[in-house]
Each structure stands twice: as structure tokens, then as C-alpha cells.
Structure 1
Amino acid sequence: MPKTLPMVDISAPICCAPVSAAPLDDDTALQIALRLKALADPVRIKLISILLADTGDGICTCDLATAVGLTEATTSHHLGQLRKAGMVTPDRRGMNVYYRAQPDSLEALRNVLSATTGCC
């Protein structure tokens, strides 16, 4: 049975030295792993790419579901995982929820994985 990761608030962008700067402590490694786990699904990667390409006021869950070929419920589950990781933000408008990517959070994760720059 796989080991369950502890509940940690990962909604804020991660901020630490690049992983190549020095060996990571356990807490920092967990923070990075939880964010990568949120992205470790092809549907979530596709959702992020769609949302990053959006130049408008967000995209409705119903339109995202159509774009990835899944039900709205399944799409909402994936968006919920990305929201918990701070990578997207929801905006309820009546009966619909519109999502926007959080580029700062994704950029911070990219910088942590980079060999040359930190995010702070």
C-alpha cells in the first residue's frame, strides 16, 4: 500500500533555492513533490496549457470539459487538484465556475527546478 502524503497547504507559490543548489530538507522536498503530484496527470497538464493560453476572463468548467473530452464532474475534480496546488483560481458566476491559471505559481515551480535561478 502506498504511503499517504501528509496534508500540507500548497496553495501559495513555492519559494526556495533551486533543487540543484544544495540537498533539500524534508519539508522543502515535500512541498515540491506535492506541487509536482498535482501536475502529474496528462489531463491536468492539458488544462493548464488551455488556461495559460486564455487571454480572456477565464474559461468555464463546461468549456474545459469539452476541450479535454471528459465530464464536467471529472474535469472539476482535476481543476480542484490544481486549485489546491495554487495553480488555478476559480471564479463563480451564477451557476458556472470560470478558471484562470496562476502563472506566478507555475513560474515559481519552474524556477525551483531550474539549475541556475531561485524564485525569491
Structure 2
Amino acid sequence: MSVQGVAPRVTSVGDLCCSPILQAPLQSGDALALAGALKVLADPARLRLLSLIRAADDGRATTRVLADQVGLTQPTVTHHLGALFDAGFLDRERAGRQTWYSVNTDGLRAIQQLLDPTPVGTVES
């Protein structure tokens, strides 16, 4: 249960239902989950981290490399990466003492589909 006016912590964008917001009214839980996911993305550092990871040579990067690229401390970058991972926007793989992050395109696609204004069954021209 959430405190009145406070959105619950986002567990994953994968938990969101499938109807685009302009095609059918959102249920209360879906609206809270979507708002939480968008809140995670509404940070310039996190958006930059997503773009840097996606643009990396093999589509993945470590905290150390990302910290150097964005000019933030490793603990700050780790915090942002954790939020993106928890929300379903990143995947991570541990290899020894390093953690590699890659973009979870399914998470981003879920947000895209929810915000898509094209009615179901309509082909955009």
C-alpha cells in the first residue's frame, strides 16, 4: 500500500499493462507504475548513462568507464544505474569484480508502447 500522494517504488516497467494511455483510461496502479518509471527516466544523468551504454562498442559498459565519461563519482553512477536496473531499463552481468550494464530494450519499448498515440490496428503513414 502506498502513502496517499506518494507513488510506490517502481519494480519494473514489465509490470505495466499494455493499453496505450491515449486509447483507454489507465487503471490507478498502472498510472502509478508509469509515473514511477517516467520519474526514473526524468533525470539528465540517467538519460546520458542510457545513451552511453547503448552507444558503447559492444552495447555494454562498466561503472568505472561510465563514471569517467559523465564526470560523476562511481558511487553516484552506481546509484543511477541501480535505479535504472530496478525499473527494468538496464540488464546487468557480474564478471569477477566488475559489473557490466546493457540497455534492456524491452523496458524502453514498454514505455514507448504506452505512450504511442496511434490507435491499435491503425497503420501510420
Give the conservation status (yes or no) of the 8 Å contact 2:12–2:86.
yes
RMSD: 2.0
Alignment CA distance shift 1:21-1:57 (3 Å): closer
Q: Which residue identity does 1:19 align to in structure 2? A: I
Give the conservation status (yes or no) of the 8 Å contact 1:13–1:109.
no
Higher relative contact order (CA 8 A, sep 6+): 1
How many residues get paired? 117
Give the conservation status (yes or no) of the 8 Å contact 2:13–2:110.
no
Give the conservation status (yes or no) of the 8 Å contact 2:14–2:110.
no
Structure 1 regions of 5+ residues with no counterpart? none
Structure 2 regions of 5+ residues with no counterpart? 121-125
Determine which structure has more spread, i.e. the larger CA radius of gyration.
2
Tell me which stretches of 4 or more aligned residues in structure 1 moved more than 6 Å.
none
Alignment CA distance shift 1:59-1:104 (3 Å): same
Paired-residue identity, %: 38
Q: Which residue identity does 2:7 align to in structure 1? A: L
Which is worse superposed, 104-113 or 9-18? 9-18
Give the conservation status (yes or no) of the 8 Å contact 1:14–1:105.
no
Partners of 2:13 and 2:54 in 1: CA distance: 18
Q: Which residue identity does 2:73 align to in structure 1? A: T
Does 2:3 match 1:6? no
Which is worse superposed, 6-15 or 85-94? 6-15
